[in-house]
Structure 1
Amino acid sequence: MIQKDKTYNLATFFCLYIAQTIPMSFFSTVIPVMMRQENFSLSAIGLLQLIKLPWILKFLWSPMIDRHALTTGDYKRWIFSSELIYAALIFGVAFLDFHTDFYTIVALIIISFIASATQDIATDALAVLSFSRKDKSLANSMQSMGSFGGSMIGGGVLLLLFKQIGWNNLLPCLALFVIVALLPLLFNKGIKIQPKQPDERAKKADVFYFFTQRKIWKQIGFLFLYYSGLIGTLAMLKPYLVDLGYSMKEIGVMSGVAGTSIGFLASFTGGIIVRRIGRFQARILFALFVLVATLYFLGLSYATPTTVLLYGGIFLLWGSYGMATIVVYTTAMDCVRPGREGTDFTIQTVITHLSGMLMAILSGKIADHTGYHGLFFFESSIALTSLIYILIVFRKDKEMV
């Protein structure tokens, strides 16, 4: 019975995470395409990345959720209300015309992303409180699988459907899916947490107090470094494939479908591995995978790779990324303070987003000046630095669970 409840809880969180990602991935993919078709400038299309700003700034209102969510029912109310607002805004956008209501559409999408980010804060906090230390990696697998699966569906499958049935017909279905994804949580009575104590209620200043913890900076260094060896390579993967002569359709299949699918499967595998061998060993193992992936692309840059070799590199890249997300999320859950679960977890995920954004920008500049050889050498160096950092800084954390 306990195993059955755990499986149901994991499935519930998977539904919540994929419900966040699919609409966001769809909008982030389809709107730039539509803007280009309407002859918007590339600069204007680049500014569209600002619609994701709520997911960077969500730490600002995370203490409010921690403060007012004391029981399982409180967290469910936050999740239901924010997700219903998310669905309602998506449904409302369906009735607007992209040509005449463009700025209204963008404004509504930004507001919908605020609602989605709020749902994410409450969902993350509930996940932290609902699972034991041993099972947190499995919960993080659901989070990562929801992210990869949502990206694949929202940026791939729905893009194809969009071309067939159009904006006004697809978005109501998307809104309905967001609501349907709430049903497992509605009927799940097995998610239980210990009510918070009055002295554990969060304050606005807790965002800053997070950084005053004595041992938190080694985790912050880890968060900045761990993805960095991958993000630059991932950011330049599509331009690299274009320069090798592959079409957009071929690139979509190679990276968007095949690569993301591997990331999805690796996320599930990574959760099991972390549960079996512990955080410290998993940090090292996945850092080695990241290093191998970057070295593989460094080797490819000195040859004219075949499609098979490229698929091998893409699988390595996305597979190591999928596993790396698990150890990042799991260790982030370990570093939350009582009563500030949503705040502390959100701050750590924002750190990874910011470091990824900076690395993506830096990788483009490095590739411009040194070519792909220089970029992949730089990424390999960062991956090696990350591995050495883990071996030195976390050498005392050799727990097995």
Structure 2
Amino acid sequence: MAATDSDATQPQGRKFRMRDLFEDPRVIQMLALGFSSGLPLLLVLGTFTLRLAQSSIDIKAIGLFSYVAMPYSLKFLWAPTIDRIDLPVLAPWLGRRRAWMVATQIATALALVLMAFSDPEHSLALLGLGAFLVAFCAATQDVVIDGWRIEAAGTDMQGILAATSNLGYRFGLILAGAGALYIAAYGGWTLAYLIMAAAMGVGLIAALFAGRYDRAREVAPVSERPTPMERVRRAIFEPLTELHRRMGNALFAVLLLVALYRMPDFISGVMANPLYIKLGYDLPQIATIVKLVGIWVGIAGGFAGGWAISRFGMFPALVTGAFIAAASHLSMAWLSIGEPELWRLAITVSIESLCGSFAGIALITYMSSLTTPGYAATQYALFSSLYALPGKLVAGLSGFIVAAYGYPAFFTMTAAVGIPVVALCFAVGRVPERAKANAACPATPTAGNSSEAHEIPTSGIPAATARAQT
């Protein structure tokens, strides 16, 4: 057992009370940690592309720079390492989770300082390196914060902490979006990124005061430890085999649907900010309408998606989300051929945010319904990676399409991607319902996959939705 486990605080095992919202220190700590988690995201996505566009960087290069945010989609590759390695100096003092929190937050702040002093026109490669480091350190921070949240509370408090994290995450997005643009408009990009680096101190303070909830790691006897191939079989092949056994060959169409469902949003999102700059909108206007109004309209779209699912069912909401999310890109094509009037920008951003968030909630519900107890964590990780990776890979080439055909044709093409998506929804949208109806008995959990994994971490829902919109 690691040294960091011996002094760990055990989460309280009592029922949740309303006054805990104001008296339980974990709530305010989770709010601050959620803020620290949301802050870096836009600084390597939406705000970053605006900075590049304002510096007259070639549109093809702007598209390629979207790849610097790939660590957010690949963090599952090194997440197991975070659970097993104790940082040498900090871990004995702070515990495993808090040590990683402090280290990643300091590293993120330092990488933001590097971005602050990197001029896109003279040191573009250094700026790109800083953005990649921010994404890598911030993605690692997300892994640690999720682990701390899960270990810090029992089931009765998980919903409260997840909702609090979501609220803090939104505050971070607002500061890194609207806040950074206002500061850049009046004080320059260097000042904006330096203030963002200083704002990482909010999460750092929360990490230092957070409870030490590292749980003991059980070490099995050598004779009972599975071989490397056995670990691979349990972790990867068994969950995939279970999916195929339950859905048959329809699984391949389901995977294709998941991969394509949000692809139009990922592709068009990279080119939205350069379009605003090209049309002549200034940073305060973009900050107010896109980064403030757009976020709150997106929240409303998420609630609308949740209501539609509860009122009409998952399948109608899934089909509707696929159609309106893709069709909403036609509003971007409409914006690109008109004058830079604020009312046109407000209408376009509202349509995009509302429809995109609605579709995001529909897809998350669909992916969750595809999993089965005992394999839910692994299966959901597969689906969540699949829904983001293809779109982000294609999005890097979006600048070449805009350079060749222009913005109106580009956004029309992204809308056209919705045609096969809607067709796939009609073809396999009811697969989860049919699979459950045909199941003779509940799936039996097997070794290597905890039976408690059927609850999908809700803190990942707003994060995933936000990334698709930025």
Aligned residue pairs: how many? 387
1:289 equivalent to 2:306? Answer no
Task: For 1:393, give the aligned amino acid.
Answer: A
Task: For 2:238, give the aligned amino acid.
Answer: Q
1:50 equivalent to 2:71? Answer no
1:259 equivalent to 2:294? Answer yes
Gap regions ≥5 residues in structure 1: 275-280
Listed as ranges, the matches of 1:123-202 within 5 Å are: 123-132=145-154, 136=158, 139-142=161-164, 145=167, 148-189=170-211, 192=213, 194-199=215-220
Task: Provide the rounded CA distance (Å) in 1 between the counterparts of 2:48 and 2:349.
Answer: 28
Question: Relative to structure 1, is the Cα distance of residues 362 and 98 closer, same or farther in structure 2, using a 3 angstrom cutoff?
Answer: closer
Task: For 1:61, give the aligned amino acid.
Answer: W
Cα RMSD between the aligned structures?
5.3
Question: Relative to structure 1, is the Cα distance of residues 360 and 100 closer, same or farther in structure 2, using a 3 angstrom cutoff?
Answer: closer
Match of 2:32 in 1: 15
Listed as ranges, the matches of 1:371-390 within 5 Å are: 374-385=416-427, 387-390=429-432
Report if aligned partners of 1:332, 1:348 keep a CA contact under 8 Å in 2: no
Question: Relative to structure 1, is the Cα distance of residues 195 and 119 closer, same or farther in structure 2, using a 3 angstrom cutoff?
Answer: same
| Cα offset, 1:195, TM superposition | 2.4
Match of 1:278 in 2: none
Report if aligned partners of 2:302, 2:354 keep a CA contact under 8 Å in 1: no
| Cα offset, 1:116, TM superposition | 1.3
Deviates more, 1:176-185 or 1:79-88: 176-185
Where 1:170 maps in the other structure, the secondary structure is helix
Task: Provide the rounded CA distance (Å) in 2 between the counterparts of 1:299 and 1:98.
Answer: 34
Where 2:45 maps in the other structure, the secondary structure is helix
Question: Relative to structure 1, is the Cα distance of residues 66 and 284 closer, same or farther in structure 2, using a 3 angstrom cutoff?
Answer: farther
Match of 1:393 in 2: 435
TM-score (normalizing by structure 1): 0.70
Question: Relative to structure 1, is the Cα distance of residues 327 and 269 closer, same or farther in structure 2, using a 3 angstrom cutoff?
Answer: same
Question: Relative to structure 1, is the Cα distance of residues 329 and 372 closer, same or farther in structure 2, using a 3 angstrom cutoff?
Answer: closer
Task: Provide the rounded CA distance (Å) in 1 between the counterparts of 2:363 and 2:196.
Answer: 26
1:26 to 39, 43, 46: 43
Match of 1:352 in 2: 387
Report if aligned partners of 2:66, 2:396 keep a CA contact under 8 Å in 1: no
Report if aligned partners of 1:22, 1:154 keep a CA contact under 8 Å in 2: yes
Gap regions ≥5 residues in structure 2: 1-14, 336-342, 403-408, 444-453, 457-470
Match of 1:86 in 2: 108
1:211 equivalent to 2:233? Answer no
Task: Provide the rounded CA distance (Å) in 1 between the counterparts of 2:37 and 2:70.
Answer: 15
Report if aligned partners of 1:18, 1:150 keep a CA contact under 8 Å in 2: yes
Match of 1:277 in 2: none
Question: Relative to structure 1, is the Cα distance of residues 116 and 334 closer, same or farther in structure 2, using a 3 angstrom cutoff?
Answer: farther
Question: Relative to structure 1, is the Cα distance of residues 203 and 81 closer, same or farther in structure 2, using a 3 angstrom cutoff?
Answer: farther
Task: Provide the rounded CA distance (Å) in 2 between the counterparts of 1:227 and 1:116.
Answer: 24
- Spell out, residue by residue over 1:137-186, the C-alpha distance to the aligned partner (whole angstroms, 9 max, x if none): 55554555555554443233312221111123222221121111233343
Task: For 2:66, give the aligned amino acid.
Answer: Q
